[in-house]
């Protein structure tokens, strides 16, 4: 059985029921994220390291066995993100998100987009505010 997000009269990308199957769900999440031109992935045993193509920094690490994504977030942003998204946990070097429930895949993608935007446009924003 699937659930879907409805916009108007069209269903948008049905979400399968929750439950983590590393063999099926990790590739699904990685397929979506891996299609982004700003990221590249490196598989290492039971984890996948996602790196920015801009500067090679680690953007996130997905523990495929546990279904946990750790997103590299600046320390000054962690408290704000934790307050806004109670499903996040503070972790070494950023925030952690349990992505075993597919409903949390969208939040994972949102966090990665924000991080990549900050990397790409942070210097421009800083210069513009000076």
The verdict on residue 91 lying in a domain is yes
pLDDT tier, 55 (very low <50, low <70, confident <90, very high otherwise):
confident
Number of other residues whose CB lies within 10 A of the CB of residue 67: 20
The verdict on residue 80 lying in a domain is yes
The verdict on residue 45 lying in a domain is yes
Give the CATH number, domain containing residue 86. 3.90.1150
What does the pLDDT read at residue 25? 66
Q: How far apart are CA 115 and CA 71, in angstroms?
A: 8
What does the pLDDT read at residue 64? 87
Tokens 């952690």: give the residue.
96
Specify the 3-state DSSP secondary structure of 74.
coil
Q: Is the pLDDT of residue 79 over 50?
A: yes
Strands (E), 1-130: 2-7, 10-16, 39-44, 47-52, 58-63, 68-72, 88-91, 94-98
Q: How far apart are CA 20 and CA 60, in angstroms?
A: 19
Query: What is the reported pTM?
Result: 0.74
The verdict on residue 5 lying in a domain is no
Tell me which of 119 and 61 has the higher pLDDT: 61
pLDDT tier, 97 (very low <50, low <70, confident <90, very high otherwise):
very high
Q: Whole domain around residue 87: which residue ranges?
A: 19-121
Specify the 3-state DSSP secondary structure of 128.
helix
The verdict on residue 90 lying in a domain is yes
Q: What is the mean pLDDT of the chain?
A: 78
The verdict on residue 3 lying in a domain is no
> What would the pLDDT profile of 20-41 be if each residue is shown by its tens digit?
566 666 777 888 887 888 888 8
What does the pLDDT read at residue 49? 92
Q: How many structural domains is the chain composed of?
A: 1
The verdict on residue 98 lying in a domain is yes
The verdict on residue 126 lying in a domain is no
């Amino acid at each position: 059985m699937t659930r879907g997000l409805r916009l108007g009269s069209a269903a948008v990308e049905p979400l399968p029921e929750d439950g983590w199957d590393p063999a099926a769900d990790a590739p699904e999440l990685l397929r979506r994220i891996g299609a982004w031109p700003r990221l590249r992935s490196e598989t290492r045993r039971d984890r996948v390291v996602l790196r920015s193509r801009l500067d090679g920094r680690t953007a996130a690490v997905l523990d495929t066995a546990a279904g946990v994504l750790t997103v590299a977030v600046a320390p000054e942003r962690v408290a704000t993100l934790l307050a806004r998204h109670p499903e996040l946990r503070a972790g070494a070097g950023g925030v952690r998100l349990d992505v075993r429930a597919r409903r949390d895949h969208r939040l994972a993608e949102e966090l990665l987009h924000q991080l990549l935007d900050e990397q790409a446009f942070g210097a421009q924003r800083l210069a513009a505010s000076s």
